[in-house]
Amino acid sequence: MITYTVLHTIHIFSVFIYGGFLFVDILFLSKMKQSLDEDESKKAREAIMIHVRKVVPYSLMVAVASGIYLFMQTFGQIGADGFTYFQTVLSIKAFLGLWLGLRGVNQKLFGIQPWVFKSHFFPFSLVVIIILLSQFMYI
């Protein structure tokens, strides 16, 4: 039980780091172009992104790895009637989280940039959906 609690805490913190960056990028960093000229905006964003690239992709990988463990611990047995409501919502969350993780691993480790959804708005939307699903899965 202590392992689950520790990994759950690590999972939450790593999701906060990843989701927090997406939140800041969407709402603030993307608006720098309104206050700064094009060259200053690029320099300011790159100055921030140098540090972001050292932390955020790895926090996503930790979130996905810990999420896989938590999924295996909480999914439970599939009954004769099929998936329960909890298992269905948890499976949707896991699929979305794995998609984010695959995207992040491809970018960070293999240098493969996404073909579609190149901005951070779509991953941010998925993080929000995952958070909302986590609130509804125990109903």
> Which pLDDT does position 107 carry in this prediction?
87
Dihedrals φ, ψ of 82, to 5°?
A: 100, -160
115 CB neighbour count, 10 Å cutoff: 6
Which pLDDT does position 138 carry in this prediction?
Answer: 85
pLDDT digits (tens, 9 = 90+) for 95-124: 999 999 998 898 888 888 877 667 888 899
**What string of H, E and C letters represents the secondary structure of the chain?**
CHHHHHHHHHHHHHHHHHHHHHHHHHHCHHHHHHHCCHHHHHHHHHHHHHHHHHHHHHHHHHHHHHHHHHHHHHCCCCECCECCHHHHHHHHHHHHHHHHHHHHHHHHHHCCCCCCCCCCHHHHHHHHHHHHHHHHCCC
Give the separation between CA 107 and CA 117, rounded to whole angstroms: 13
Res 69: pLDDT:
96
**How far from chain centre, in Å, is Cα 130?**
9
For the chain of 139 residues, list the mean pLDDT of each consecutive stretch of 10. Answer: 93 96 91 89 91 94 96 92 94 96 89 77 93 91
- The span from the CA of 52 to the CA of 43, in Å, is 14
